[in-house]
A = this chain, B = another copy of it.
Amino acid sequence: MNMRTIEWKNNKVRIINQSKLPLKLEFLELGNLGQLWKAIKSLQVRGAPALGAAAALGVYLGIKDSKADSFKEFNFHLKRVIRYLGTCRPTARNLFWGMERVLKVVSTAQDKPVSYLKKLILQEAKRIIEEDCVACRKIGDFGEKLLKNGSSVLTICNAGALATIDYGTALGVIYRAEEKGKKIKVFASETRPLLQGARLTCWELDNRRVDVTLICDNTAAKLIADKKIDLIITGADRISANGDAANKIGTFNLAILAKYHKIPFYIAAPISTFDKKISSGRFIDIEMRPADEVRTILGKKFIALANAKVLNPAFDLTAASLISAIITERGIIRPVNKKNIRKILEK
């Protein structure tokens, strides 16, 4: 793909509308903060690293027309925008990280005029985008060494180009291995309820001519038992200081299956996904999503009674002890523990 998941274009945020894939490739132009908030909430743009860029650009959308003429007033406006954006998806660390990055550059230039601060924010958002592209390729470089020619990889949800700017974390590892001449076989778990595996991962792997087979989430245990999977790689939405990882619901299932069958379970994620202020996974806030995501298929057809009681957590937690290694742009963390994570974060 020569297109980016999210970019700044014609004074607007342009995103690929991921809720329409794979049946339609549609771009959306988001000209104000409310539109961006809705796009994130409804998963038109999703994936932890992509949300880092979306958040920073969102802050710019929120303040670009600010009439503030003092730092104090501007800062008040800025904080309000940040609080609002933070309400849309509580679990993804990168969303908050993107906003913190922007806050930080502003805080170092308090004596500058508001027009300059606005420029700084847009600049920082663009920097986040460029850094993400570099980080994904580095993750790919470190991670591809874990794959052999002929390796068979299981993944869930989408931690690919569509979850980042243009390359991916878990899928970036696979793309890099393929670029190095290894043939990789991928199994994509469809990822109910919102089917990011079936819709997004299969689509982008197919676009890049990587051999991909779609399975129902229920099929993983059989597939591993049948020796069809060498390793599992997923992304992450937030990783605590001790290495517990929140990721798409179903990831914890896979980590337990990997342990039972004695195959490696890897997470690929940029440094921006780590939350060193959270000591353990049990303090990570898990987003609960609407019942109709489960009662229907993509909001269209009801598959259960319209009043069926539903529990729909968007994420689960995988304990550090179940994670064989975390692949970051600064190297591989193995074994996954507080000390090794601190070492990488301080690099």
Contact = CB atoms under 8 A, between A and B. Distances in A.
A342 B257 CA distance: 31
Interface in A164-207: 187, 190-193, 195, 198-199, 202-203, 206
Nearest to A225: B252
A118 interface: no
A213 B304 contact: no
Given A190-B192, A305-B22, A305-B206, A256 B221 contact: yes
Given A308-B214, A311-B223, A23 B302 contact: yes
Nearest to A293: B216
A248 B216 CA distance: 12
Contact of A214 (B213, B225, B295): B295
Interface residues of A, number: 55
A209 interface: no
Contacts of A297: 297-298, 301, 303
- Which residue, of A191, A259, A304, has the highest number of chain B Cβ atoms within 10 A? A304
A306 to B, nearest CB: 9
Nearest to A310: B214
A257 B253 contact: yes
A271 interface: no
Nearest to A305: B22
- Which residue, of A218, A253, A308, A312, has the highest number of chain B Cβ atoms within 10 A? A218
B256 A313 contact: no
Contacts of A305: 22, 202-203, 206
Contacts of A212: 308-309
B225 A304 contact: no
Contacts of A220: 253
Nearest to A206: B305
B202 A304 contact: yes
Contacts of A317: 222, 225
Copies in the complex: 2
A216 B199 contact: no
Contact of A312 (B198, B216, B249, B252): B216
A260 interface: yes
Contacts of A115: none
A173 B225 CA distance: 30
Contact of A198 (B203, B248, B304, B311): B304
B303 A199 contact: yes
A343 interface: no
B303 A213 contact: no
A225 B250 CA distance: 12
A310 B221 CA distance: 16
A300 interface: yes
Contacts of A107: none
Contact of A257 (B23, B249, B256, B294): B256
Contact of A222 (B23, B294, B316): B316
A213 B22 contact: no
4 nearest CB pairs, A to B: A218-B250, A222-B316, A297-B297, A221-B253
17 contacts: A192-B192, A198-B304, A202-B304, A203-B304, A211-B309, A213-B311, A214-B304, A215-B294, A216-B312, A219-B249, A219-B312, A221-B250, A221-B252, A256-B257, A297-B298, A298-B303, A300-B301
